[in-house]
Amino acid sequence: MTHAHEEEVLARIAKGLVYTESEAAFQAPRRRTEQIFEYNHTPPSETEKRRSLLVAIFGSVGERTVLLPPFHAGFGSNVYIGDDFFGNVNLTFVDDVDIRIGNDVMIAPSVTLTTTGHPVHPLRRADFGRFSEPIVIEDKVWIGSNAVVLPGVRIGYGSVIGAGSVVSRSIPPMTVAVGTPCRVVRPITDEDLTTRTAGH
């Protein structure tokens, strides 16, 4: 594949247009599958080795990162994580394009963040035809167990995504959003500072 053709494919991907497995094959060297496998089989006591693997896998990774194995990623190198991240077991990144995660983000078990979908018509899925749009998770977000975040979604500062939600549209800051499809059910307010405290 010529450099010009690679640029054309990357431009199409950036616009959220359909591209195929064969067209995107030149990106294969950016996949960190061996390092991800190694991380998932590294003993918990080997904290320095785990940290060095995360630095090698991700596009960037902040300080004080907790990511409980196993986790999975299509590339790994398209994921950018801020400081004080907590990712529980079975976190899946479908990172054909960027997934950007801010600071102080918590993700519960078995969450999927997928930047990629497929056309509805089967003829357009030949050669694994697909489209990709970036995901942004802003600071201080909490995502509940078994949630799925779909291509192009931005989850705003401080928001909470309820367990089992399918997030197909962007969620504004400081809200609680739940369901399939995920919808805002209420704002987060100062009253939430007093829940589950002594005497409540």
Q: What is the CATH number of domain 3-187?
A: 2.160.10.10
Residue 1: count other Cβ atoms within 10 Å of its Cβ.
Answer: 11
d(Cα 79, Cα 46) in Å, to the nearest integer? 23
pLDDT (tens digit per residue) in 32-46: 999 999 999 999 999
Catalytic residue check, 118: yes
pTM (two decimals)? 0.94
d(Cα 115, Cα 91) in Å, to the nearest integer? 14
Contact 105/159 with Cβ under 8 angstroms? Answer: no
User: Mean pLDDT of successive 10-residue segments in the chain (200 residues)?
Assistant: 86 94 92 97 96 98 97 98 98 98 98 96 92 98 98 98 98 98 97 80
pLDDT (tens digit per residue) in 150-193: 999 999 999 999 999 999 999 999 999 999 999 999 999 999 99
The secondary structure element, H or E, covering residue 24 is: helix 21-24
For residue 58, the number of C-alpha atoms closer than 13 Å in the C-beta half-sphere is: 23
- The two tokens of residue 166 are 């399918």
Tell me what pLDDT residue 195 has: 87
- The two tokens of residue 182 are 């995920």
The secondary structure element, H or E, covering residue 53 is: helix 47-57
Catalytic residue among 3, 5, 72, 118: 118
- What is residue 19's DSSP assignment? B
